[in-house]
A and B are shown apart, each in its own frame.
Chain A
Amino acid sequence: MATETTRRAFLRSVAAASAGSLAAARFAQAAGPSIVAGSFAGVWVDGLKAGVIPCYKRKTGGDVELVVGTPTDFVQKVMATRDRPAIDAMIGTDADVFQNAQLGIIEKLQPAKVPNAAGILPIFREPYEGWAFGFDGGRDGVTYNANKVKNPPKSWIEFTERVAKGEFGRAVLYPHLTATDGLAITWLINRELGGSLNDPSPVIKRLREMKPYITKFWTSNAEPGTALTSGEVDIAAWTDGRTFGVQAAGNKHIQFALPAPGSPMLTICFMKVKNGSDGGWEYLNCASDAKNQALWNQFFPGYYMTHQNNDYPPASREKQDPTSLDRSFKNWIQVPWKELSRLRPQWMEAWTREIGA
């Protein structure tokens, strides 16, 4: 009888558990849509989980599955699954926005579905012609080992001249043109050298002179950090945010300098994938909320955010450029991303032919 009682108790508990999980499953089905969103690796995930994703969960009851990768990875996945895309909302650089629009894989933002985007500063909305909004960005400059480089370059032209003369030895990193930072910096240097969008020859000629002293053209944003901290290179064209991360890890001798006339503006943007779940709109709405941006920013001190009502966390505020705090962004140089994106293949051909890297 004791055995029979135990068996009945067991069967009752199994039935209760089954009913409970069925109810949970039904609740999950009744909750909002779960979506798939693209993210960069590492701390980017933490940043999104701090504010944007909880916001989405609160508003829809659904969940967000993050796919970690690069903008190219996201585009490749979406292009391979156009009718039922593998990703519903993705991130990318300014250059990627126009490229993705040309490929027909993103939708124009619908103000009614992304009302928070109206609070994004015009400088981070209007250039994208409705295809995306900017989320965050940093500065491109020169990161150097202060123990080896006592007098960092004061301008981009000076940087290129000193590298080409071999002043830093063969201990320099420069971004590859396939990296958007590389495209932006190369465009800026070309402009400073008197070139134009249709004529990249001045910067290509200068890069050819620099090439014997460039250890590597970096393609991954992590490479300069490794090379600088290991002592492999002494100076690199890189971003301020990543430099701050390297400094925070204890490498105080690695310093950042902003060469004149300043940094090209390079912003990470959020886009809604065409044919993706409608939940993607709410995700974008959460990403364009000032509070969620501030929550993200606590993981990226020094990166600017794009909402007009942004309140930077204290640790970030002290690293910000003054013109990001006053929201004028005057210290940044606007890149003609739409035209540059269209001309990128020609720039790449010139690079391949002349630089051969």
Chain B
Amino acid sequence: MPALLLTPLLVFLLTFFVLPFGVMLVESLYLSPLQSPAGSAMTFANYAKAFGDAFYLRVLLQTVALGVAVTALALVLGYPVAYFLARTRSRRRHVLLFLVISPLVVSIVIRSYGWMVLLGRAGTVNTLLVALGLAERPLPLMYNWFGVIVALTHVLLPFMILTLASVIEGIPESLEDTAAVLGAGWWSRFRHVILPLSMEGVGAGVTLVFMLTIGSFVSILLLGGSDTLVLPLLIYQQISLLNNNFAAALGMLLLVLSLALLYAQARVFRVRGAA
């Protein structure tokens, strides 16, 4: 009976996830019609190009680095908010919850344009900095990695906070109280009680935010500059050139990266669980 209940989901996943990826895998093993007008035999040329060229490897590294940067920032900024959300008994908890998820209410395009207004050379932040004498001239806050990281952290922070908050809520407060009674300060309570017990939430939040970051496109397209090239943008470039087959190979690369991270997360927590 339980297996039967899973059938609609499995059919949906098979049709709209597994099969399209299968098609993409097959596409990635051929050359595009523009590269090979007479047709192409099966070949690993697209993968050889992706792994054999320093430029594409640099883009892959930049993609991973962006994922690490945004995830780390989201974790550092999100953990205290998640803890507060999980522990507060305030009647205004729902207001805080709304503020946390508010970035998701607005379309990503509008949100990105909003950041352009804030971070631009003549934007709000620079105008304030110059007016207050904190900067002699406008700082380069946009069309670079800084602008991209700020915008992505803004949109992905809710995912980290909500994932962490749901796990921290499940940690009995009595454990913290006991530690406090036994003389542990707040840092000791965090380090020896809260953090270890919330590691599954940290793992889930890190995995989710990292995967969403490495697949991000619109924010990087609008707020990035001549140096901020990552895999999703490169895939878009290749599709613009009608090089769908190479784009498919790059897409498979992105998939493998995500699956590797999921596997690593599962392994780490299986080992921790066994321990």
Contact = CB atoms under 8 A, between A and B. Distances in A.
Interface string B204-245: 000000000000000001001111010000000101111110
A345 B58 contact: no
B121 A171 contact: yes
Contact of B225 (A72, A215, A230): A215
A76 B239 contact: yes
A230 B53 CA distance: 38
Interface centre among A79, A170, A353 (most CB of B within 10 A): A170
19 contacts: A72-B239, A76-B239, A79-B242, A99-B34, A102-B33, A102-B34, A102-B37, A103-B34, A217-B226, A230-B120, A231-B120, A232-B116, A232-B122, A232-B142, A232-B143, A345-B241, A352-B55, A353-B55, A356-B229
B226 A215 contact: yes
Nearest to B56: A352
B35 interface: yes
Interface residues of A, number: 28
B140 interface: yes
- Interface centre among A75, A79, A103, A230, by most chain B C-beta atoms within 10 angstroms, is A230
A357 interface: yes
A256 to B, nearest CB: 21
B240 A178 contact: yes
Contacts, number: 67
A16 B34 CA distance: 57
B226 A211 contact: yes
Contacts of A72: 239-240, 242
Contact of A232 (B34, B120, B227, B240): B120
Contacts of A103: 33-34, 242
A102 B36 CA distance: 11
B55 A356 contact: yes
The size class of the interface chain B forms with chain A is: 20 to 34
A214 B122 CA distance: 18
A219 interface: yes
A72 B224 CA distance: 22
A274 interface: no
A226 to B, nearest CB: 8
B242 A357 contact: no
Interface of A: 72, 75-76, 79, 99, 102-103, 170-171, 176, 178, 211, 214-217, 219, 226, 230-232, 344-345, 348, 352-353, 356-357
Contacts of B123: 230
B143 A216 contact: yes
Contacts of B37: 102
Contacts of A75: 242
Nearest to B240: A178
A230 B34 contact: no
A232 B227 CA distance: 17
Interface string B45-75: 0000000010100100000000000000000
Interface in B82-123: 116-117, 120-123
Contacts of B121: 171, 230-232
Given A102-B37, A353-B55, A170 B240 contact: no
B58 A356 contact: yes
Contact of B241 (A178, A211, A217): A178
Contacts of A217: 226
